Amino acid sequence: MIHRNWAFLLGIALLAACSGGKEEVQDNRKVFRYNMAEGQTSLDPAFANNQANVWATTQIYNGLVDLDGSLEPVPSLAEVWSISDDGLTYTFDLRPGVYFHDHEVFPEGKGREVTSEDVVYSLKRIVDPSTASSGSWVFSSKVKRDESGQIDEDWVKAISTYRVEIALDQPFSGFLYRLAMPYGFIVPSEAVEKYGKDFRAHAVGTGPFRLQSWEEGNRLILLKNENYFRRDQYGKRLPYIDAVQVSFIADKNSELLYFQQGELDFLSFSGQPNLVDKILQKDGTVRLEFVGKYVVQKVHFMNTEYLGFVLDPQAYEDPTHPIMNKKFRQAMNYAINRREMLSYLLSNLGRPGEQGFVPRALPSFNPREVSGYTYDPDKAAELLAEAGYPEGQGVPEITLYSGAQSKDLLEYLQKQWEAIGIRVNIQINPVPTHKEMTENIRAPFFRGSWLADYPDAENYFACFYSKNFAPAGPNKTHFSNPEFDALFEEALLENEQAKKWELFHQMDNLLIEEAPFIILYYDEALRVIQPNLTGLAPNPMNIPKLESVSFMDVQAVQ
């Protein structure tokens, strides 16, 4: 029997009271419960810049398009769309009969129909400087500009009630992926204008769940949207469950305990060895106490864990520093036993970084086309000698900078390099300090990770495009290569998938040869699910989509 939180039932009861007692609290309400340790900061999709905000807004809103389990764009608020032959104009036909959630901002509290004007308002709001959205770049970097170089006033415009048109400055084959991000979710102007910045706590969308209450630091409750536009294959209106309850327990060990006590329905971990060890054995298999009792999944995740080398001479007192030598960087790559590292330190949660910068979760990943570094200490020693540092002679002590994470992993790497004669000092700084240092090339050798915003390898290769130098862009290594830049620019304009992926593979192989990084591993998410839950499909973005979730048996609420 699943135990439901009494506090949640109190919230339902209060809702019933506010509606004049017409809604009685039933004992068979189906409630999906998950925890978000980092806490919720906003329910406004304009600020969906962390996992908590993305997960919650995904339940409340919809965009023009969505991504399916294979990360391909599929219809959402837009039924169909077309792209002009020149790749510059996207035309979307909206699904008629989609309504915003019932809310006091609308006449008589009834949600109104979504039109193309809502799309125009929502997307322009993201690029409006007064919004200060963390996602303004998603559209501002791609949409049409006028002769003065400013964003064109009509880059998105309503053609009719249900038709909207978006104009780009240059063709960009990944634009649909960007529209599927939370920054592309559609909001009603009435709610934004009424609440202003406090719209963050008064969410109104079109999604499968509507906001009931949010007690910051305590809990978030979403109720079923009875008027949601989507239906299942049998014509039954989604969602199946009645509500979603999010708790904010900061301690992850306590979160696991609550799950084991039946107070949570779903857990997701990544890069947390102490917790992973409680669920997985060192060889990556599930511990006996979890086998058969819960559903345990390892899912490829769109995150690459790496070490970066700054290739800008200005980062060093001596411009001939060993890091500026390609063979030296290659030697450091060959010195690492990634498979042993994953087994010893991460219970094999993740895949060894033996290919390029693009992780396994992306559709374009192909190990037959891209081959990276494997453990080969003899090759490492050979390259070190060719670089002019036989057995590490003449190599100054190198500092590896990291945020406050994974000290055990860093010490493991330290010993691997020491075995070929390279002495590496570890400096761990607070995360904000580490971020500032890496963005301003003050950490010439640094720990980094890249979690994609959308499932297109362009998002990864942008980290090495010479026009994207940090701090203005994501290129923290200051890697600069004309051949790479030309391939990157060609890929941005390419619409044919096979050709585009071929360009991606060429870029990845070029990066492997130049070695501005050491790929450690490609992340995986560990998901643990209560056995009576169904419909929670995994996806490489690790975003739970709850509209199709159901409980296999009706569970009594106590």
pLDDT at 1 > cutoff 90: no
The per-residue pLDDT for range 356-366, each reduced to its tens digit, is: 999 999 989 99
The whole-angstrom separation of Cα 452 and Cα 174 is 13
Identify the structural domains of the chain with CATH numbers, from first to last. Answer: 1-35+207-265+530-537+545-558 (3.40.190), 62-203 (3.90.76.10), 301-523 (3.10.105.10)
Q: Pull the structure tokens for residue 499.
A: 């050709």
pLDDT at 194 > cutoff 50: yes
Under 8 Å between Cβ of 392 and 381: no
Confidence of residue 23 (pLDDT cuts 50, 70, 90): very low
Kindly report the average pLDDT of the chain as a whole number: 92
β-pairing, 517-529 vs 351-352, is antiparallel
Q: pTM above 0.85? A: yes
The per-residue pLDDT for range 211-253, each reduced to its tens digit, is: 999 999 999 999 999 999 999 999 999 999 999 999 999 998 9
β-pairing, 31-35 vs 65-67, is unpaired
Compute CA distances 168 → 117, 143, 154, 175, 310, whole Å. Answer: 19, 4, 11, 9, 33
The whole-angstrom separation of Cα 13 and Cα 6 is 10
- Cβ atoms within 10 A of the Cβ of 230, count? 17
Q: pLDDT at position 405, please?
A: 67
Q: Give all strands (DSSP E) within 344-456, no chain letters.
A: 351-352, 398-402, 424-428, 445-451
Question: According to DSSP H, which parts of 280-406 are helical?
Answer: 326-334, 338-346, 377-386
Let me know how long the chain is. Answer: 558
The per-residue pLDDT for range 263-288, each reduced to its tens digit, is: 999 999 887 777 888 999 988 999 99
The per-residue pLDDT for range 288-302, each reduced to its tens digit, is: 999 999 999 999 989
